[in-house]
Amino acid sequence: MNKSDYPSWAMDTIRFADTDKLGHVNNAAFSTFLETGRTHFLLDREKPLNQPGTSFVIAKLILDFKAEMHWPGQAHIGTRCKSIGRSSFVLEQVILQDDTVAALAETVMVMFDETTRKSTPLSDIAIARLKEIQVVS
């Protein structure tokens, strides 16, 4: 895994409360770390992805645990865009503790209209921003 493969990076602090009786970070905390990475990119105040009256929802989350994480420490979350559809897109993320890959994730995100509560097409601005972090094969 090369850090340059993920254009957007965020960091979260591993809290003692994130651990379980086995002494490692509980699986539920991994989803929180992924959220930190997504919101760092999606809700950037300088370049927001959504337009007024729209939000994002998760339609699907695949989380592959690779290694234990331990307190104290930091989770570093890399995010990139795998594909872009009409009203949805797929993000790929990695969670690192130090240089160890702790998890890989794939998330399908859907833009929806907050009034109708239905999916709505991605704006040209959102598509352009997603292309900035899209994987080029």
3-132 maps to CATH 3.10.129.10 = yes
Cα torsion angle, 128, 134, 11, 68, sign: positive
- What per-residue confidence (pLDDT) applies to 137? 64
CA distance 26 to 14: 11
Mean pLDDT by 10 residues, the chain (137 residues): 90 96 94 96 86 94 98 97 97 97 98 96 94 85
CA distance 55 to 22: 37
CB atoms within 10 A of CB 66: 14
CA distance 109 to 60: 7
- What per-residue confidence (pLDDT) applies to 97? 97
Instruction: Please say whether the beta carbons of 30 and 102 come within 8 A.
Output: yes
- What per-residue confidence (pLDDT) applies to 123? 92
| Structural domain spans, the chain | 3-132
Side by side, the strands of the sheet bearing 100-113 are 8-14, 73-84, 88-97, 100-113, 54-65
